[in-house]
A = this chain, B = another copy of it.
């Protein structure tokens, strides 16, 4: 009984929220900031796609395909090459670089795959409604994986273990995997790549999850208006007005102009300290500089050094726990598997 009492009172102490924190949590919620759901069924409701339901068989298969470089024309590039789960879900270079060492023609930076499920749109110009659709893009894009749908289908259908895994995942002994199915199971795996952090604990009422400086940073972040774009679970992921060239000094790199209305997808701030360089064109490497520029160009505000420092401290609390991923052993190619081509 005593043990139980101690555990209960420890929990009570842990969850006690100072009134200042209560007010800050309230303010954060009003500003549209939301935690990653703690409750698993609520989480799955948020990350699932009813048209492509998450199952463990699909997650397992999708993970393999996410890491399989044979989906690319060269046999050298996988989803994980540019969205590396080891390094914050990104590649750490300014412009995404793929087949034949070709940089993205618009000099666009690879967004992180972690928490991408929480974004309302995919790609910087928001042209894709969900991860299932998005996953089809880079596999086929000439400067990325440069594969045709036919190549991907030939590779997958040549490997009996993959065919079997698709039959199992779709519970259909006659299942013949298509390019779309490949993208679908990769998307299912990606839907599981969420990274709860101390920030989520705080929003869920755990006062001690954030330090005083981090709380101050969060308050400045909201007070200054950062959360007007960086909101929701993702702290980003919605289409927002794009800084015009001239005002935004880095807009001139590449010829990217956002979507047809000049809107650009706001990147998530989760794990932001792990995903440099910053901005759609990877033009800024220093997070403090990025914070300053965004305040100036998007909000017309000049932040003090102290404010920037505190916002950066708050960003540290957005570094989340990554799901454990066993590195897959992929089924071997064989005589029927198409050869890769480096050309």
Chain A residues close to B by CB (< 8 Å) = 67-70, 74-76, 81, 84-88, 91-93, 97, 100-101, 103, 273-274, 276-277, 285-286, 319, 322, 324-330, 332-333, 335, 339-340, 342
Contacts and interface: CB of A to CB of B under 8 A. Distances in A.
Given A69-B87, A76-B97, A87-B330, 20 more contacts: A69-B92, A74-B93, A76-B91, A76-B93, A85-B329, A86-B328, A86-B330, A87-B332, A87-B333, A88-B332, A92-B333, A93-B340, A93-B342, A101-B342, A273-B332, A319-B332, A322-B329, A324-B326, A325-B327, A326-B326
A324 B101 CA distance: 31
B67 A93 contact: no
A101 B100 contact: yes
A42 B302 CA distance: 66
Contacts of A67: 86
A74 B96 CA distance: 11
Copies in the complex: 2
8 contacts: A68-B87, A74-B97, A76-B93, A87-B332, A93-B342, A285-B339, A286-B335, A326-B326
A112 B324 CA distance: 26
Given A75-B92, A97-B342, A342-B103, A327 B329 contact: no
Contacts of A75: 91-93
B81 A76 contact: yes
A327 B327 contact: yes
Q: Residue among A273, A324, A327 with the most chain B CB within 10 A? A: A327
Contacts of A93: 74-76, 340, 342
Closest CB pairs A-B (n = 4): A101-B101, A274-B332, A325-B327, A327-B327
B329 A326 contact: no
A192 to B, nearest CB: 14
A29 B74 CA distance: 41
Contacts of A103: 342
B86 A340 contact: no
Given A76-B81, A87-B69, A101-B101, A92 B327 contact: no
A86 B332 CA distance: 9
A339 B284 CA distance: 11
A339 B285 CA distance: 8
A286 B93 CA distance: 37
Nearest to A329: B322
Contact of A92 (B84, B329, B340): B340
